[in-house]
Amino acid sequence: MQQPIDAFMGMEEEEVVEVPEWKKYVDSITKPACALHFFEEIIRKDCSQQIKGACVFCKFSVISTGSSRLMVHLMKCPVAPKGVKDSFKLVEERASLKRKTKAEQILSAKEEMEFKASTKRITNAGSPQPQLSQQTIKLSMRTGCKEAADKAIARFFYSNALPFSAASHHEADSYYREMINAVALAGSGYQPPGAHALGGRLLDSCYDEMESDIKARDPDGHTADKFGCTYVSDG
């Protein structure tokens, strides 16, 4: 028996929820180039690799040569989902480890070649036995210095009850790695800041940088007004 048409008049149509385009790519993040899926209004400059796009989450515009800055932005974006951030952090960790391994291999190969060359020169000079070259002495000294530096850092962590996770050197934006690199560049005569500097001018300087970073990410304050703003760091 055919039901009356009036019986269907009160039924509401099912609401169709549109799935954002970026959600299709969350589970397939495997390389920096995947960051392009999370940007819109992408503009590519002619005859260059420069890309400009707006983050789909916070609408902040990023200019990048390739996809590196796009990926870095997504890892730090205050509005991006945790799953997206974690996926790109994992990509960066793998890339960082690969770069480090390659650099160590190149350095090791270079030292081996220099050692063989120096040994050959000594042998050709008429020495009956290859002698310990200056290169091997330098290598031995560097190994000893590294061990001493590692122990000094370890003692600092132990004596101040610092979490070992703070030394995660695979993180692209690790403050620990940034600190070590800066000290190395400063040279052997570098004197670290004392308590007065840490609680004074350096604290003010870091605070000013934080304020500038927030304003750069959200110039008009719309994102902060909509979602709130909390500046956090995991080291």
Q: DSSP readout, 185-208?
A: HH-TT-----HHHHTTHHHHHHHH
Residue at token pair 């560097």:
142
C-alpha triplet 223, 229, 233: angle, nearest 5°: 125
Residue 65 token pair: 């040569």
Long-range contacts, 20-23 (Cβ 8 Å, 24+): 20/56, 21/56, 22/56, 22/84
Give Cα 132 to chain centroid, integer Å.
41
pLDDT band at 171 (very low <50, low <70, confident <90, very high): low
pLDDT attached to residue 55: 93
The answer to whether 21 and 79 have CB atoms below 8 angstroms apart is no
pLDDT attached to residue 235: 47
Residue pLDDT, tens place only, 74-91 = 999 999 999 899 999 888
Distance from C-alpha of 43 to C-alpha of 159, rounded to nearest angstrom = 52
Distance from C-alpha of 170 to C-alpha of 91, rounded to nearest angstrom = 11
Beta-sheet pairing, 39-44 with 50-55: antiparallel
Beta-sheet pairing, 39-44 with 61-65: unpaired
pLDDT attached to residue 58: 93
DSSP letters for 90-123: HHHHHHHHHHHHHHHHHHHHHHHHHHHHHHHHHH
Q: What mean pLDDT comes out for the span 190-216?
A: 85
Distance from C-alpha of 45 to C-alpha of 52, rounded to nearest angstrom = 8
pLDDT band at 3 (very low <50, low <70, confident <90, very high): low
Residue 110 token pair: 């270079």
> Where is mean pLDDT largest: 127-136, 191-200, 207-216?
191-200
Q: Cα(first)–Cα(last) distance of the chain, in Å?
A: 71
